[in-house]
Amino acid sequence: MSAHASAVHASAERIPRWLVRSIAVLLVAVLAGVATMRLAGYSPTVAPQAALAERKLAFADTPDGAVRVSDATTGELLGEFRGEQGFLRGVLRGLARDRRAHAVGTGAPYVLSLHADGRLLITDPETGQRIDLASFGRDNAAVFARWLPAGALQSLNRTPKEYPR
């Protein structure tokens, strides 16, 4: 292959400078826009609608490794879970880690709430952490939905197994 043919072939594969510059300008504009919005106090989170029902829950580990769930207001035992319980334990680990990071004790209850927009949240009033349980799928949300007060899901025409639609 001649030197001229190599030069022509190499220049045909190059990306035009104007395209590279346009992409760079676009990236800088997007980053500047995001930074401006964040510095101005804009938060992309959506506040939940009014709570239709809520229940304060207490979680405790038992000596045999089970997780005991009770109504923090009445003391009623809602369930005891043995075995892996991946989602339940994962959520509780995340909440406990946040409490340790904020140097908050473990005794205060969590609040499970169902909102008018269908969101099922577990909130830690001590740290302000809020987890939208429905975002983890129907089966995982149902783990917590069963602990809502009686009739709460029926107001949305749902049962714990059907949550969320």
Whether pLDDT at 18 is above 90:
yes
- The answer to whether residues 63 and 141 belong to one domain is yes
- The answer to whether residues 58 and 28 belong to one domain is no
Any domain includes 65:
yes
Any domain includes 98:
yes
Whether pLDDT at 155 is above 70:
no
Percent of the chain with pLDDT over 90: 16
Any domain includes 16:
yes
Any domain includes 100:
yes
Which domain does 32 fall in, by range?
Answer: 3-39
- The answer to whether residues 95 and 127 belong to one domain is yes
Whether pLDDT at 32 is above 90:
yes
- The answer to whether residues 81 and 125 belong to one domain is yes
Q: For residue 146, what pLDDT is reported?
A: 85
- The answer to whether residues 8 and 82 belong to one domain is no
Taking residue 81's Cβ as centre, other Cβ atoms within 10 Å add up to 16
Long-range contacts, 139-147 (Cβ 8 Å, 24+): 140/87, 143/87, 143/88, 144/88, 144/91, 144/112, 144/120, 145/114, 145/120, 146/79, 147/55, 147/57, 147/69, 147/78, 147/79, 147/112
Per-residue pLDDT tens over the stretch 85-113: 778 888 888 888 888 888 877 778 999 99
Any domain includes 111:
yes
Q: 32, exposed or middle or buried, with CB in 10 Å at 0-12, 13-18, 19+?
A: exposed
Averaged pLDDT for residues 136-148: 85
Q: Where are the beta strands (DSSP E) in 30-138?
A: 51-61, 67-71, 77-81, 110-115, 120-123, 130-132
Residue 14 to residue 35: CA distance in whole angstroms: 33
Whether pLDDT at 165 is above 50:
no
pTM above 0.75, yes or no: no
Any domain includes 45:
no
Averaged pLDDT for residues 136-162: 73
- The answer to whether residues 97 and 30 belong to one domain is no
Whether pLDDT at 164 is above 50:
no
What is the residue-averaged pLDDT of the chain?
80
- The answer to whether residues 145 and 86 belong to one domain is yes
What total number of domains does the chain contain?
Answer: 2
Per-residue pLDDT tens over the stretch 67-91: 888 889 998 998 888 776 778 888 8
Taking residue 39's Cβ as centre, other Cβ atoms within 10 Å add up to 8
Whether pLDDT at 5 is above 70:
no
